Structure 1
């Protein structure tokens, strides 16, 4: 299945994280929040948000000054899109292989394992 939107780049994901965590903001506010992690110029933030608007990753409210940017989709939607793409490109479409590799790649807490088990039980029930 081909995504209708392009996947965000790493830099675009950083901006999306800011918008998801802090809500809609102006370019100046996004740039200020990005500066907490790494130095980012105003024109860089502006250009990135313009590109992201063109790609359909964010929306821009032109009715106010300064213009306010918001993520077009919730965090979970974008995460699922990225995982679908990763599963397709790196694991031959196998979600099972992706999940097994993710779980095997790091130590999980008992709580995380219980949550995964509940999710798998729920998904198994839905697929019957």
Structure 2
């Protein structure tokens, strides 16, 4: 299933990933903490996301409850893969070099990167 959430859909997914199944009102209130969004706009977005199989809807109660139908990890992997292909011509090395060159990396983060590299060299994954 190709995941193609928009930026706003990703923001809604973040709310659902962090809080679990939520009503439209709860999602809307979370969105309003960062930008003014009308309730009907949030409702319409959740309906579109339901059609795209990004969320599931529980229609048992009067207030429909939505939950993410995709995991945060699979979404990140898909979006990163797409970004890697389109921006870095598929080169993970170019992506990592760019990321490390543009940001201050803490000693703890470097230790985690070393651990991951060691695991990858041994043929394992995280």
Cα distance, 1:5 vs. partner?
A: 2.1
TM-score (norm 1): 0.90
Alignment RMSD, CA only? 1.3
Name segments (4+ residues, structure 1) moved above 3 Å.
none
2:79 to 78, 82, 88: 82
8 Å CA contact 1:5, 1:55 repeated in 2: no
2:98 corresponds to: 101
Cα separation, 1, equivalents of 2:25 and 2:81: 33
Cα deviation per residue 1:80-123 (whole Å; 9 max; x = unaligned)? 11100001111111122112211212111000111011011111
Alignment gaps of 5+ in structure 1? none
Cα separation, 2, equivalents of 1:64 and 1:80: 34
Cα distance, 1:44 vs. partner?
A: 0.5
Match status 1:16 vs 2:25:
no
- Aligned pairs (5 A) from 1:21-40: 21-40=18-37
Cα separation, 2, equivalents of 1:103 and 1:25: 37
Cα separation, 2, equivalents of 1:126 and 1:59: 36
Query: What SS is found at the alignment partner of 2:94?
Result: helix
